[in-house]
A and B are shown apart, each in its own frame.
Chain A
Amino acid sequence: MSLKRSSVQYTPSYITLLCLLCNREKAEVEETLKRIQAHKGVIATIVVNAEGIPIRTTLDNSTTVQYAGLLHQLIMKARSTVRDIDPQNDLTFLRIRSKKHEIMVAPDKEYLLIVIQNPCE
């Protein structure tokens, strides 16, 4: 069974469509982040790049930098731990529940997404 289309002509319009699609993806991600931020109990959202520099945040600068630096290190350590035990494994999520709120970190290949949520009703 093959559902493949016949060879596609890469006309300029197609290329713009591709761009639009990529933009669409971007828009989707943006929307997702907005939804997360608007979700009940979410205090802050931070996106950190591979070097530990925050590129997107909803908090003030100093706190963001603090969170980013500390969590970056922690994620490195956690990931190293997981992978040392089994190199085929990898860290997908980290949750730190504290008295006041919960810090959730979703590591990616190059980025970290940090969300601080207050799960209490």
Chain B
Amino acid sequence: MVAAINFLPPVDRECWREERPVAESRCGRRHASQGGRQAPTGKGLSRADIGQSGPSGGKAVPRAAKAVSKKRDEDASTEAGEGVDEWAAAKTLVKPPDQLELTEAELKEEFTRILTANNPHAPQNIIRYSFKERAYKPISYVDQMAIHFSLNGNMILKDSDEGRRQSIRLSTAAEKAPVETSAVTSEETEIKDEESTGDTQAAGDEEAEGSGTAEVAEAAEAEEPPRPRAKEQKLANQFNFIERASRTLNNPMRERACQSEPTPCKNFSATANQWEIYDAYVEELQKMERSKEKEKTKVQIAKREEEKKKGRNLTSLESQSDDITKISKAAKIMERMVNQNTFDDIAQDFKYFEDASDEYRDQQGTLLPLWKFQYDKTKRLAVTAISWNPKYKDLFAVGYGSYDFMKQGQGMLLLYTMKNPSFPEYVFSSESGIMCLDFHNDHPYLMAVGFYDGNVAIYNVKKATSQPSYRSSAKSGKHTEPVWQVKWQKDDMDNNLNFFSVSSDGRIVSWTLVKNELVHTDVIKLSVEGTTMQGPEGLQLQTLGCGTSFDFHKKIDYLFLVGTEEGKIYKCSKYYSSQFLDVFEAHHMAVDSVSWNPYHLKVFISCSSDWTVKIWDHTIKTPMFIYDLNSAVGDVAWSPYSSTVFAAVTTDGKAHVFDLSINKYEALCTQLVVAKKKNKITHIQFNPVYPVVIIGDEQGHITSLKLSPNLRRMPKEKKGQEVKKGPEVEIAKLDKLLNLVREPESKAGK
């Protein structure tokens, strides 16, 4: 009947005092009423005793009921003495307004209450899902512990870390209070205290007190105190720590790419050679020079520049369109090479052949024929003049004309090179036959030319035209007869070019190129002596001789010789215009050529149609040597390499080469060069460098011949003695000869 009471809930004493009018409403009436319905207690309290306690409609809470009943008993027993008095005093029943109305029978009903030690609030039937059996199963044991009150305590163990820290803090806090005035030292102490985690507090205090040393390190340690404090604050409670982390929203990543247009690529490859680098530098240099020139030309009139530009544009356009002109140089070289191949043997002969048989023929030489130069348009013209170019030793100029009075036609001027025997390099044409020509020494592109009609002209090889650059005319004092010889002189004082010309009209004229005009000056008039006549109106008429050739002295500038048609040779000076220095009765017929010896200053040679060649000393009236060649001598020329060698050509087609040092009386070589009957040789010239002579004939052919060694003999080297070379030797050589000749002559009175 009666359950063991092992549980006594706290009892509100107030509700026990049911009789009291004041406290009744406050107490847990329900407890009381519910207890009433329960099983009777051990003491068998009837409802009547507790009937007044508030009726509650609810079910009995066994716990509370039991507790109330139990407590009442105890209270009744313990406080019987105290409470009885009070209860006895106030025994009047007070009815609350909401009291349950019960009948008597119901009031007397006894309720049994069992008191157990079970937790009345604990659930009795907890069902849990068991994964093992895959079913819901009731839990056998339910925890009966009922916690009425819990309070988290804040007590920590003294010896734990936290405890120690707190104690230290408390102690420092206590110290801080009295030392508030000097914050420095207080900080020090804290610092020191904080630092000495391992040290005992006493040590820390001692350090703190030693303020002298501590103050020094104050600044460095200023940061220390906040740090440990911050550390401490961060400590988390190990038992009740909830880390609440939250994740920010990660924005979804999206990849956005864009590709730019690739820059246009171009493959470039080149070699970097030394010469490519060199070329680049040269180009740079040229550009700079051009820019410099442009700056200079900017100073000039702008109009002129425009014109030039027009010209340049034209040429550039032309050059772009004309592919073929660019190859002109290569074509030229190629032509020469092709010719060299064709005339290979001749080229080899020219270079290397030396007639071996000359060793056996002591006083004879030969002329080896080399190339033959001819041109279509000059087939009917005679070679009237030959001259080697002073600069280019392989280039020579040939003048074409006609010696025939009746058959006068056009003239031509061709420049050939030995490198190309098949075609002339330059071609010039003229209306009148050319009679003579001469290259300028300093300007090897200029040629002075004398015509059959008495005109003179200057041709410029550099210019593309086939017409002369400058020309005399009837107005400007041309000769009235053919010009037989022209010769360049040194530039006059104004640096103008000038040359002399000699003609059959008896005048020797000096032509000067002044401001692009040929200005003539009569130097001398070849008056024949003793032929002054009395003309009408009292004029003295002079018969003028006809000059056919002249030559200027190499060293003595003013001195020159003139040969005439009458066979006389006049020695003249530029400064004496009316008189001759001397007269030589040279020949019986026209003097075709006079020429000073290239080495000896006194010796000159002359040839004539009277079949003779004569060598003179200009101081002596009579010739030193006379040679009869059995035919009219067309031309005579000294050799450039020896003072004693000269060559002459005759109209019978023979060339004669003499060497006075070897044979004074006979020619070393007499060779037929051209066909006898049909052709006549007109001129001969020695090449200044090579052992070659060129001979021109009447049919427009030029034949080149190589001199054999005998003809070019140099003085023999005596053993032990140095070989003297040079003009002095030559002069001496000739002198010796002359002396030999002179004395017997003077003696013999030749």
Contact = CB atoms under 8 A, between A and B. Distances in A.
Interface of A: 1, 3, 5-10, 15, 18-19, 21-22, 24-26, 28-30, 32-33, 35-36, 39-42, 47, 49, 55-56, 80, 83-84, 87-88, 92-93, 95, 102, 104, 106-113, 115, 117, 119
Nearest to A42: B338
Dominant SS among interface residues on chain A: mixed
Contact of A29 (B273, B325, B337): B325
Contacts of A30: 324
A109 B326 contact: yes
A118 to B, nearest CB: 9
B514 to A, nearest CB: 11
Contacts of B342: 39-41, 119
A92 B332 CA distance: 12
A5 B460 CA distance: 13
B338 A111 contact: no
A32 B335 contact: yes
B268 interface: no
B422 A108 contact: no
Given A110-B326, A112-B330, 10 more contacts: A1-B491, A7-B307, A10-B311, A19-B318, A25-B325, A41-B338, A49-B323, A83-B278, A84-B273, A119-B341
B335 A87 contact: no
B732 to A, nearest CB: 38
Nearest to A14: B311
Interface of B: 273-275, 277-279, 304, 307, 310-311, 314-315, 318, 322-335, 337-339, 341-342, 344, 422-423, 443, 460, 464, 469, 491, 495-497, 513, 516
6 contacts: A22-B325, A29-B324, A33-B324, A39-B335, A93-B333, A111-B323
A24 B323 CA distance: 14
A112 B330 CA distance: 8
B326 A111 contact: yes
Among A21, A106, A107, A115, max chain B CB count under 10 A is at A106
Nearest to B332: A32
A8 B307 contact: yes
B35 to A, nearest CB: 127
B334 A83 contact: no
Contacts of A26: 322, 324-325
Given A1-B496, A10-B310, A117-B341, A33 B315 contact: no
A44 B513 CA distance: 49
B341 A102 contact: yes
Contacts of A111: 323, 326-327, 330
B314 A18 contact: yes
Contacts of B331: 29, 32-33, 36, 106, 113
A67 B94 CA distance: 146
Contacts of B423: 35
A21 B330 CA distance: 20
Contact of B274 (A7, A29, A87, A113): A87
Nearest to B446: A3
Contact of A1 (B278, B307, B338, B495): B495
Contact of A95 (B275, B304, B337, B464): B337
Contacts of A84: 273-275
Contact of B328 (A3, A28, A80): A28
A96 to B, nearest CB: 12
A112 to B, nearest CB: 8
A96 B564 CA distance: 58
A87 B283 CA distance: 13
Nearest to B458: A3
Among B314, B331, B342, B495, max chain A CB count under 10 A is at B331
Given A10-B311, A33-B331, A104 B338 contact: yes
A113 B516 contact: no
Contact of A104 (B337, B344, B443): B337
Contact of B469 (A3, A6, A7): A3
B462 to A, nearest CB: 10
Top-10 shortest CB links A-B: A83-B275, A87-B278, A106-B330, A87-B275, A108-B330, A22-B318, A113-B330, A119-B341, A32-B331, A106-B334
Among B274, B279, B337, B513, max chain A CB count under 10 A is at B337
A10 B334 contact: no
Nearest to A15: B314
Contact of A32 (B273, B304, B328, B469): B328
A3 B518 CA distance: 12
A88 B275 CA distance: 8
A36 B335 contact: yes
Given A1-B491, A32-B331, A88 B278 contact: yes
A119 to B, nearest CB: 4
Among B315, B330, B422, max chain A CB count under 10 A is at B330
B322 A39 contact: no
A33 B335 CA distance: 8
Contacts of A87: 274-275, 277-279
Contacts of B335: 32, 35-36, 39
A5 B322 CA distance: 28
A67 to B, nearest CB: 15
Contacts of A29: 324-325, 327-328, 331
Nearest to B516: A5
A83 B272 CA distance: 12
A17 B409 CA distance: 28
Contacts of B513: 3
A19 B314 CA distance: 8
Contacts of B278: 83, 87-88
A41 B339 CA distance: 10
Given A3-B460, A36-B338, A42-B338, A106 B307 contact: no
Contacts of B304: 7
B219 to A, nearest CB: 75
A44 B375 CA distance: 25
Contact of A115 (B326, B329, B332, B338): B338
Contacts of A24: 464
Contacts of B341: 41, 102, 104, 117, 119
A120 to B, nearest CB: 10
Contact of A106 (B273, B279, B310, B337): B337
